[in-house]
Amino acid sequence: MMRSLTRTLAGVLAALFSAGLAWRLLCRRFNLPMPPWIARLGLSRAADLFAETRGTLTRIGALPGERVLDAGAGPGRLTLPLVRAVGSAGEVVAVDVRPEMIRELRHTVYESGLSNVVMYEADLRKPLDDARGFDRVVLAATLGEIPDRDAVIGHLVDVLRPGGVLSVTELFTNPNYVPYRTIQRLCIRRGLVLEEERRSWVGYTANFCRPARTHVASADMFSRTVTEKSATANTETDPE
Ligand SMILES: C[S@@+](CC[C@H](N)C(=O)[O-])C[C@H]1O[C@@H](n2cnc3c(N)ncnc32)[C@H](O)[C@@H]1O
């Protein structure tokens, strides 16, 4: 009796592990988006454990009065705490490419009664035309779902004010996890400067600063040179 129970348990664990591994490989191969029901789990209290939401917010470091862009906001795991962090003098703009995520997010925000948040559909692969001058751009567990990562970082740098911060968080629990060295390479190539990188058992948050006005010209020149070079090479390979 005990032996067959142990065997069944081992079988279930092995099946779960194989399914998890297969899902992770498929995600990495095809940049599969996270299913909405899993993203929704991020709003639960359990998320604080498997995604360490509170710790992530501390590492992101949003301050009262700031204008923050939550890029790839999903159903709002970080959006609402960010709105609380910036307070009534600040503002959060939350964008996501999937209409169902924006719908969820609107619902969550409505239920919370918070008001200083703007939400709309936007694809990070394209320039965010109407958005400019953010103090902080938050990109959490999103880049791995998008094949053209260099373009995404470029568009996000464009909407930062000089001196603003691009805060990238990646979670080991996310099948589309992007390693730190890839983020670092993409950000430095766009003229950003590492301010702080902090790790925890669930992943890492790296904050990169867009240099202040005097240095922006050279950063732009640098990124233009890289863009021209990559246009010639016509490839952006990501050796993960
Ligand atoms: C794993 S969820 C992370 C959500 C949230 N940032 C968090 O940390 O809980 C990734 C989100 O990125 C969004 N996303 C994927 N590709 C995108 C794109 N090209 N433009 C904007 N959002 C995108 C997905 O729709 C999804 O909501």
Q: Give 94-136 pLDDT, tens digit per residue.
A: 999 999 999 999 999 999 999 999 999 999 999 998 788 999 9
**β partners of residue 120:** 95
How far apart are the CA of 43 and the centre of ligand 1, in A?
A: 14
**48 CB under 6 A from ligand 1?**
no
Contacts of 139 (CB under 8 A, 6+ apart): 71, 72, 152, 156, 166, 167, 168, 169
* Residue (of 63, 42, 48, 60) closest to 205 by Cα position: 60
What residue spans define the domains of the chain?
36-233
Give residue 227's pLDDT: 38
Residue with the smallest CA separation from ligand 1 atom 10 is 142
Level-2 CATH architecture, domain 36-233: 3-Layer(aba) Sandwich (3.40)
**94 CB under 6 A from ligand 1?**
no
Q: Is 87 helix (H, G, I), strand (E, B) or coil?
A: coil
Q: Which of 40, 52, 97 most suits a substitution to test ligand 1, by most atoms within 8 Å of the C-beta?
A: 97
Rounded CA separation 141/172 (Å) = 9
Positive or negative torsion for Cα 187, 191, 192, 194: positive
* Residue (of 165, 6, 24) closest to 82 by Cα position: 165
Rounded CA separation 134/161 (Å) = 5
What's the predicted TM-score (pTM) here?
A: 0.80
* Residue (of 150, 158, 144) closest to 235 by Cα position: 150
**33 CB under 6 A from ligand 1?**
yes
Tokens of residue 108, six digits: 């969550």
How far apart are the CA of 70 and the centre of ligand 1, in A?
A: 10
* Residue (of 140, 152, 122) closest to 207 by Cα position: 140
Angle at alpha carbon of residue 121, lines to 117 and 126, rounded to 5°: 115
Banded pLDDT at 234 (limits 50, 70, 90): very low
Rounded CA separation 74/161 (Å) = 24
**151 CB under 6 A from ligand 1?**
no
**96 CB under 6 A from ligand 1?**
yes
**75 CB under 6 A from ligand 1?**
no
How far apart are the CA of 95 and the centre of ligand 1, in A?
A: 9
Q: Give 131-150 pLDDT, tens digit per residue.
A: 889 999 999 999 999 999 99
